[in-house]
A and B are shown apart, each in its own frame.
Chain A
Amino acid sequence: DAGVIQSPRHEVTEMGQEVTLRCKPISGHNSLFWYRQTMMRGLELLIYFNNNVPIDDSGMPEDRFSAKMPNASFSTLKIQPSEPRDSAVYFCASRVVAGGGTQYFGPGTRLTVL
């Protein structure tokens, strides 16, 4: 199994630009999570989906952030417009929702907003 795939691995952009992060979960997993990790705030859950439906987006910092999951094998996290304080590592993770399944993480996207 290829594991959770994220792209790009690194993204450098200028303030005000749109940023799109991509994630492909592990095949057969029906729950997908987006996290953000910074030194100051640690690992924060932004949003998660069950069966492609957003369940809890209370962690999304503000309206500049949006996430979609159009099908079981693809999700995006979009920031528009981006700001320097959005600089962080963004992780995607997936799991089988029932039965307390293990959550597997992707390698992360390191975002730098100048």
Chain B
Amino acid sequence: SQQGEEDPQALSIQEGENATMNCSYKTSINNLQWYRQNSGRGLVHLILIRSNEREKHSGRLRVTLDTSKKSSSLLITASRAADTASYFCATEEASGTYKYIFGTGTRLKVLA
């Protein structure tokens, strides 16, 4: 079953604009990760945020986590055409199973 649901399903923006993607989940978690997948390629890890953290930055990426609302957001600032990809959130359930459940993904298209 899908734990995370990303919103929007698809997003199209102009180069230089910011892109925001949201992820909602259902159960308590240990941490949440965001991944990028270029068309026809594997998933690349972007950033991990633990359940006791509220915000994290990595380069042009900013991730927030609100455990009370069971939601996370990924912000990509000053987007580039190379950011065109699908973005997935993955949650590690706090049940001690150590498995990650992936969301449905957001397809981002950055227009040059």
Contact = CB atoms under 8 A, between A and B. Distances in A.
A56 interface: yes
Contact of A42 (B30, B35, B102): B102
B92 A100 contact: yes
A43 B99 contact: no
Contacts of B48: 100, 102
B104 interface: yes
Interface residues of B, number: 23
Contacts, number: 51
Interface in B17-55: 30-31, 33, 35, 41-45, 48, 50
A106 B99 contact: no
Contacts of A107: 41-42
Contacts of A33: 99-100
B42 A105 contact: yes
A57 to B, nearest CB: 11
Minimum-distance CB pairs A-B, first 8: A43-B102, A105-B43, A100-B31, A107-B42, A105-B42, A97-B98, A102-B45, A108-B42
Interface of B: 2, 30-31, 33, 35, 41-45, 48, 50, 88, 90, 92, 97-102, 104-105
